[in-house]
Amino acid sequence: MRHILVTNAKGGCGKSTIATSLAAYFASEGYATALVDYDPQASALSWLAQRPEDYAPITGVPGYESGLKGVPRTAEYVIIDSPAGTRGKELAELVRKAETIVVPVLPSPIDIKAAERFVEELLEVGKVADKKAKAALVANRVKENTLIFEELDAVLSRLKVPYVASFREAQNYIRAYQRGLGIHELPPYLAWPDWEQWDPLIEWLDSRRSQPKG
């Protein structure tokens, strides 16, 4: 069973958007998938409530109430969405549940500063420090050819966590979210540019680089 945690202490950086699309991706690839929502606002679970019945099923789990208890034993992929402000003990607690961590970061001066601090903190969490969990950064809501993206790109490239993908700002994410779908479930003529941007993240997740040794 693989546990992928999507986290960043900063609010609004795309945690739920990325967590839901990841869950939809693995489910549509035929894997038994659970989506665990640690945010008491339950955005990921309300996304799931919109999901049409004829799409690959995902088991929703209210992690904010009862942790991973509701995850079926047969689940192959467990995607964990976390609330804004996750740091300190709560962060360590969530990291304990995952082998792989995805950290979305927005191209804004405040978010870039916050990401630098968050990565420092993440690297100090025992499990990450001991390489028992592997993390990666993803730039999100990127507008290419902007100075602020260049800055984000430069900062993320020199942090001590691999920077594996960048996703553009696109209505597709909003459309997919409203319909309970992942970005990979939108029609190709709309979403192919986004799929291309997801490929390096999927590749990283499929590789040993995103998993602890042993």
Query: Contact between 174 and ligand ATP (CB under 6 A)?
Result: yes
CA distances from 208 to 45, 203, 213, 214 (A): 29, 10, 8, 10
Which one, 109 or 126, has the nearer CB to ligand ATP?
A: 109
The structure tokens listed for 83 are: 């609330």
Which one, 23 or 32, has the nearer CB to ligand ATP?
A: 23
> In sequence order, what are the residues at sequence separation of 6 or more whose Cβ sits closer than 8 angstroms to the Cβ of residue 51?
24, 58, 179, 180, 181
Which one, 76 or 90, has the nearer CB to ligand ATP?
A: 90
CA–CA gap between residue 163 and residue 154 (Å, rounded): 10
Query: Contact between 193 and ligand ATP (CB under 6 A)?
Result: no
Query: Contact between 39 and ligand ATP (CB under 6 A)?
Result: yes
Alpha-helical segments (H) within 9-161: 15-28, 43-49, 63-66, 88-95, 109-124, 126-129, 147-158
Of 145, 186, 190, nearest to 166 by C-alpha is 145
What would the x/- binding string for Mg ion be over residues 13 to 42, using CB under 5 A?
--xx--------------------------
Query: Contact between 25 and ligand ATP (CB under 6 A)?
Result: no
Which one, 32 or 39, has the nearer CB to ligand ATP?
A: 39
Q: How far is the CB of 17 from ligand ATP (least distance, A)?
A: 3
Q: How far is the CB of 73 from ligand ATP (least distance, A)?
A: 28
Residues that bind ligand ATP (CB under 6 A): 11-17, 39, 43, 83-84, 140-141, 167, 169-170, 173-174, 177
